[in-house]
């Protein structure tokens, strides 16, 4: 298949290029070659490249920054995604959109299914959900892939942040009342490679298995790294951030399972494998 990856220099984008190049002919764009907020250029680029599937991995991903830069977040995540969807419509290709667990408010108290009610708390979550809605309004052939707590080699992430903090601090406080599923970009990219082989379009939750709090996640990071540090569990109220986050945003990978795909490995195993290569 011919595949176009937009946002190929992002953390996930890099791994998508690696994973999808194995069996496909892959073209890429970066923010320097295609700014998705330019609708005419987006349509022109996609029409010229004529992909069978376009994977849209570009976004304004600064969750806290989105609270103060809401226009920019909306312009990129909502309108930029609309532009990509319109381009896919004009070029008659299928679209993959990467979305987030932050479309949920986290009050359900158990894992979220694809059909559960969304209710984003943050500007970032709202703009990403608006992107989903534009896609659903514009296209028939789409895969919306909601994922969470990404880490990988090609971008700053919670793992590298923790390891960096440990270099200059004896004590680190980490939130213990937000629960989610850390997901390795290498595993997610491989899963997307499987998804696009079938025209089973729709919304998919795709995360590594099992879940933890940020505090438990940090504990495992330091255990794997052999770093001895005083780690303090704190509440969200004790560690306020500009953007509100869901308390419990574990996502059932239900459609993934129903389509017969094996569940992704535990985040614990994925984290170990990632950290071995750091
Ligand atoms: N990171 C997470 O924990 C997480 C969790 C759930 C879902 N997601 C979603 O997963 C996807 C990939 O995330 P990621 O962590 O790989 O993000 P990332 O590393 O920040 O990559 C996003 C890429 O998009 C580019 N970009 C920004 N504005 C653009 C524009 N107007 N036109 C074209 N490109 C633009 C960025 O370029 P610059 O770097 O030059 O700005 C960057 O290369 C995103 O859709 C994100 O919302 C991420």
Instruction: Give the Cα separation of 278 and 49 in Å (integer).
Output: 35
Distance from the CA of 72 to the center of ligand 1, in angstroms? Answer: 13
List ligand 1's pocket residues with C-beta within 6 A.
7, 9-13, 31, 35-37, 57-61, 76, 80, 98, 100, 128, 147-150, 155
* Domain range summary for the chain, segments of one domain joined by +: 2-157+181-210+249-266
Q: What is the pLDDT of residues 57-100, one digit of tens each?
A: 999 999 999 999 999 999 999 999 999 999 999 999 999 999 99
- The confidence score (pLDDT) of residue 139 equals 98
> What does the block give as tokens for 101?
């667990």
- The confidence score (pLDDT) of residue 180 equals 98
CB 91 within 8 A of CB 105: no
pLDDT band at 45 (very low <50, low <70, confident <90, very high): very high
Instruction: Give the Cα separation of 56 and 73 in Å (integer).
Output: 16
Taking Cα atoms as reference points, which of 100, 81, 101 lies closest to residue 6? 81
- In the chain, % of residues over pLDDT 90: 100
Taking Cα atoms as reference points, which of 101, 10, 91 lies closest to residue 54? 91
Which ligand 1 atom lies nearest to the CA of residue 155? 19
Q: What is the pLDDT of residues 101-146, one digit of tens each?
A: 999 999 999 999 999 999 999 999 999 999 999 999 999 999 999 9
Q: What is the pLDDT of residues 190-217, one digit of tens each?
A: 999 999 999 999 999 999 999 999 999 9
pLDDT band at 226 (very low <50, low <70, confident <90, very high): very high
Q: What is the pLDDT of residues 258-270, one digit of tens each?
A: 999 999 999 999 9
**Best of 4, 5, 7 for a ligand 1 pocket test (most atoms within 8 Å of beta carbon):** 7
**Best of 59, 81, 135 for a ligand 1 pocket test (most atoms within 8 Å of beta carbon):** 59
- The confidence score (pLDDT) of residue 151 equals 98
At residue 107, the 3 state secondary structure works out as coil
Instruction: Give the Cα separation of 44 and 152 in Å (integer).
Output: 31
Q: What is the mean pLDDT of residues 238-252?
A: 97
- The confidence score (pLDDT) of residue 196 equals 98
> What does the block give as tokens for 70?
């809401």
- Kindly report the CATH class assigned to 2-157+181-210+249-266: alpha beta
Distance from the CA of 164 to the center of ligand 1, in angstroms? Answer: 22
| Sheet arrangement for strand 2-6 | 25-29, 2-6, 53-56, 94-100, 142-147, 202-205
Q: What is the mean pLDDT of residues 211-227?
A: 98
Distance from the CA of 65 to the center of ligand 1, in angstroms? Answer: 13
Distance from the CA of 152 to the center of ligand 1, in angstroms? Answer: 13
> Which string of DSSP letters, residue by residue, matches 171-182?
EEEEE-S-EE--
- The confidence score (pLDDT) of residue 198 equals 98
Largest alpha-carbon pair distance within the chain? 55
Give counts: helices (H), strands (E), the chain.
Answer: 11, 12
CB 100 within 8 A of CB 44: no
Taking Cα atoms as reference points, which of 140, 271, 136 lies closest to residue 217? 271
8-state DSSP, 197: T
**Best of 32, 34, 37, 58 for a ligand 1 pocket test (most atoms within 8 Å of beta carbon):** 58
Q: What is the pLDDT of residues 138-189, one digit of tens each?
A: 999 999 999 999 999 999 999 999 999 999 999 999 999 999 999 999 999 9
Helix (H) or strand (E) segment spanning residue 158: helix 158-168
Q: How far is CA 30 from the centre of its chain?
A: 17
Number of Cβ within 10 Å of residue 220's Cβ equals 18
**124 has catalytic annotation:** yes
């Amino acid at each position: 298949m011919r595949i176009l990856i937009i946002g190929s220099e992002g953390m996930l984008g890099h791994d998508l290029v690696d994973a999808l190049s194995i069996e496909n002919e892959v073209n890429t764009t970066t923010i320097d070659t295609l700014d998705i907020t330019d609708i005419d250029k987006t349509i022109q680029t996609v029409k010229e490249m004529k992909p069978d599937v376009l994977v849209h991995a570009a976004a304004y991903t600064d969750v806290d920054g989105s609270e103060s830069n809401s226009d920019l977040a909306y312009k990129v995540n909502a309108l930029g995604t609309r532009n990509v969807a319109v381009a896919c419509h004009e070029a008659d290709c299928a679209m993959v959109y990467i979305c987030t667990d932050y479309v949920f408010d986290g009050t359900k108290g158990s894992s979220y299914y694809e059909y559960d009610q969304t209710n984003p708390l943050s500007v970032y979550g709202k703009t990403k959900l608006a992107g989903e809605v534009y896609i659903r309004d514009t296209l028939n052939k789409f895969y919306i892939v909601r994922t969470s707590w990404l880490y990988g080699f090609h971008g700053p992430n919670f793992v590298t942040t923790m390891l960096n903090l440990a270099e200059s601090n004896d004590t680190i406080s980490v939130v213990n009342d937000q629960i989610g599923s850390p997901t390795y970009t290498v595993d997610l990219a491989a899963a997307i490679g499987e998804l696009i082989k079938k025209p089973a379009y729709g919304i998919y939750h795709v995360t590594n298995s099992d879940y933890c709090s940020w505090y438990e996640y940090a504990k495992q990071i330091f255990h794997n790294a052999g770093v001895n540090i005083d780690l303090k569990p704190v509440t969200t109220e004790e560690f306020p951030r500009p953007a509100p986050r869901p308390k419990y945003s574990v996502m059932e990978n239900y459609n993934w399972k129903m389509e017969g795909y094996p569940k992704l490995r535990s985040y614990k195993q994925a984290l170990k494998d990632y950290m071995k290569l750091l």
